Structure 1
Amino acid sequence: MGEFWPVPDVLTYLAGRWRVARSVRDLAGGDGGRFDGTTGFGPLAEGGLLHREAGTFVWQGVARPAERTLRFLPGPTPGTADVRFADGRPFHDLDLTSGRHVADHPCAADLYRGEFIVLDADHWRSVWRVGGPAKDLVLTTDYAREG
């Protein structure tokens, strides 16, 4: 098998709790930060998963609590997901049937391009490159399934 681990159903794969380690690099300014925490993917009443991430974000030596919530809804084809912000706005699609997926999210003048790679049954990674007039960032997140 290649370097990617195919996932026939992304929602089934993601369900449960994951440890999260994220590095943030500002390519323009050279600053770096780190987020460490957990993510839980729990069932939504209408189908899909509610993604709740919480932890500590350290930027320029200052630690702050950080959290976010996303909704992973069933996608247009079996095994895929339609990822939405907590308020229902579209974020990106997600298809891991090949073990790798690239998605774009335009945000004002910036473009977020995410690459998702499944490493094995208990590890996956996302790399977001954010570019635009005010941002030049790379966010690399490693997920490891908990117990």
Structure 2
Amino acid sequence: MDPVPHPVADALSYLAGEWTVRRELRDRAAGHSGWFTGRAEFRRDGTGTEWLHVEEGVLEWGGTRRQAGRTLRLTPNPDGTAEVAFLDGRPFHHLDLTGGRWIARHPCAADLYEGTFTVVSDDEWRLRWVVHGPAKDQLLSSVYRRTAP
């Protein structure tokens, strides 16, 4: 059962700070699964106009464990929403958490990434990416929990 969305007035004010993240990864086409466990931080990038979403942790996939991470850029909009981009500046998706739930779509070559963001409470949000394409059928389910200051 999906949690009841918890609306937030400003996405980046809500996301600011440190979170634990636990992500289940499933390749439904190949029948493989794995986990990413780590930390996420949302912070200003030093320019005063953009934010960074930095994740670092351990990926368990195919019987191996390795360090993994990613960094995304977020640009705030005056209405409390944000534009999310890859670190190199390529656009990723729009983010609007004012209703507590947001569905983002990102076409990537022949694949389509559909992400559902759900704010559960002041201290928890969830992200579910479904990836479809000629060679992909993946499900990435993440739970983010705020760490104590």
Residue 3 of structure 1 aligns to a residue whose secondary structure is coil
Residue 71 of structure 2 aligns to a residue whose secondary structure is strand
Q: Indicate the residue corresponding to 1:47 in structure 2.
A: 49
TM-score where L is the length of structure 2? 0.94
Distance 1:41 1:48 in 2: 11
Unpaired segments of 5 or more residues in structure 1? none
AA of the residue aligned to 1:127: R
Q: How far is the alpha carbon of 1:60 from its aligned partner?
A: 1.5
Q: How far is the alpha carbon of 1:48 from its aligned partner?
A: 3.1
AA of the residue aligned to 1:58: E
Contact 1:11 1:48 in 2 (8 A): no
AA of the residue aligned to 2:60: V
Select between 42-51 and 13-22 the one with higher mean Cα deviation.
42-51
AA of the residue aligned to 1:67: G
Residue 104 of structure 1 aligns to a residue whose secondary structure is strand
Q: 1:63 aligned to 47, 65, 68, which one?
A: 65
Q: How far is the alpha carbon of 1:30 from its aligned partner?
A: 1.2
Number of residue pairs matched? 145
Contact 1:18 1:143 in 2 (8 A): yes
Instruction: Name the % identity.
Output: 51
Residue 98 of structure 2 aligns to a residue whose secondary structure is coil
Q: Indicate the residue corresponding to 1:142 in structure 2.
A: 143
Q: How far is the alpha carbon of 1:29 from its aligned partner?
A: 1.4
AA of the residue aligned to 1:48: E
Q: Indicate the residue corresponding to 1:79 in structure 2.
A: 80
Residue 13 of structure 2 aligns to a residue whose secondary structure is helix
Alignment of 1:86-125 (within 5 A): 86-125=87-126
Contact 1:25 1:139 in 2 (8 A): yes
Contact 1:125 1:143 in 2 (8 A): yes
Q: Indicate the residue corresponding to 1:36 in structure 2.
A: 37
Moved over 3 A (4+): none
Residue 12 of structure 1 aligns to a residue whose secondary structure is helix
Distance 2:49 2:141 in 1: 28
Q: How far is the alpha carbon of 1:46 from its aligned partner?
A: 3.8
AA of the residue aligned to 1:79: G
Residue 13 of structure 1 aligns to a residue whose secondary structure is helix
AA of the residue aligned to 2:100: G
Contact 1:109 1:133 in 2 (8 A): yes
Distance 2:44 2:38 in 1: 20
